[in-house]
Amino acid sequence: MDAHQTRDRAEAIFKKKQERLLEGQKATAEYEAARLATREKTARLRALRLARDVARKTPVPPAQKQSA
């Protein structure tokens, strides 16, 4: 191979490595975003569940009639 072919091959290898690196970074960012969304959703649902449980345990006092 001459110098031109060697350089082209090296550039192609480098380009593939760069693309894999960028794909890995993108995948990691997507994973982290999904993980954060799941944590936020879980926290919101937990708060709703706890509020519901408290509301179920607390008896609602009957409406009192006011005597006139």
Top-confidence residue, 58 or 41? 41
Question: pLDDT by residue (tens digit) across 3-36?
Answer: 899 999 999 999 999 999 999 999 999 999 999 9
Cα–Cα distances in angstroms (integers) from residue 21 to residues 4, 17, 36, 38, in the given order: 26, 6, 23, 26
Per-residue pLDDT for 61 more than 90? no
Q: What is the 3-state secondary structure (H, E, C) of 1-68?
A: CCHHHHHHHHHHHHHHHHHHHHHHHHHHHHHHHHHHHHHHHHHHHHHHHHHHHHHHHCCCCCCCCCCC
Instruction: Count CB-CB contacts under 10 A for residue 39.
Output: 10
The pTM for the full model equals 0.60
